[in-house]
A and B are shown apart, each in its own frame.
Chain A
Amino acid sequence: MKPLGTLLAFLKRDFQIEISYRTSFVLQFVGILFSVVFWRLLSRVVTAAPDTPGLDGIDYFAYVLLGLAFYHYLSAALLAFSSKVRQEQMTGTLEAMLVTPTSLGTIVLGSALWEFVMTSVKAVVYLGVGWSIGVNLRWEGLLPGLVVLILTILAFSGIGILSAAFIFYLKRGDPITYLVSSASALLGGVFYPPEDMTGWIATLSRFLPITYSLRALRKALLKGSGFGELLPDIAALLLFIAVLLPLGIVAFRFAVRKARQEGSLVQY
Chain B
Amino acid sequence: MNEAAIRTQELGKAYVKRRSLREIAMSPFAAAEPVQGLVDVTLEVRRGEIFGLLGPNGAGKTTLLKILAGLILPTRGRAEVEGFDLASEDRAAKRAIGFVTADERSFYWRLSGEENLVFFARLYGLGAEEARRRVRDLCETMELKDVAARQFMSYSSGMKQRLAICRALLHDPAVLCLDEPTRSLDPIAAKHLRRFVSEKLHVGRGKTVLLATHNLAEAEEMCGRLVVLDRGRVVRQGRLEEITGGLPGRDGYVLSVTGNGRVPEDPRWSAVEEPQPGGTLRLTVAVDRGGAALSDLLRRLLAGGATILSCSRREPSLQEVFDLMDEGGGGAP
Residues in chain A within 8 A of chain B (CB atoms): 2, 5-6, 9-10, 12-13, 16-17, 20-21, 91-93, 95-102, 107, 257, 260-263, 265-266
Contacts and interface: CB of A to CB of B under 8 A. Distances in A.
Contacts, number: 92
Most buried by B among A91, A96, A98, A262: A96
Given A96-B120, A100-B124, 6 more contacts: A13-B119, A92-B106, A95-B101, A99-B99, A263-B71, A263-B72
Please name the 4 residue pairs, one residue from A and one from B, whose CB atoms are nearest each other, closest first.
A92-B106, A9-B122, A100-B123, A20-B110
21 contacts: A5-B122, A5-B127, A6-B123, A6-B125, A13-B115, A20-B110, A91-B108, A92-B105, A93-B106, A95-B101, A97-B120, A97-B123, A99-B69, A100-B124, A102-B124, A260-B72, A261-B73, A261-B75, A263-B13, A263-B15, A265-B72
A93 B125 contact: no
A92 B101 contact: yes
Given A2-B125, A95-B101, A13 B66 contact: no
A16 B66 contact: no
Contacts of B171: 100
Given A9-B123, A260-B71, A263-B72, A100 B101 contact: no
Interface of B: 13, 15-16, 37, 63, 66, 69-73, 75, 91, 94-95, 97, 99, 101, 103, 105-111, 115, 118-120, 122-125, 127-128, 151, 167, 171
Most buried by A among B99, B106, B128: B106
Contacts of B95: 101
B166 to A, nearest CB: 12
Given A5-B122, A92-B106, A260-B71, A17 B127 contact: no
A95 B63 contact: no
A263 B66 contact: yes
Contacts of B120: 96-97, 100
A262 B16 contact: yes
A261 B70 CA distance: 11
A105 B13 CA distance: 25
Nearest to A263: B72
A253 B228 CA distance: 35
B204 to A, nearest CB: 23
Most buried by B among A9, A20, A99: A99
Contacts of A5: 122, 127-128
Contacts of B128: 5
Nearest to B104: A92
Most buried by A among B95, B122, B128, B167: B122
A12 B119 CA distance: 8
Contacts of B70: 98-99
Nearest to B115: A16
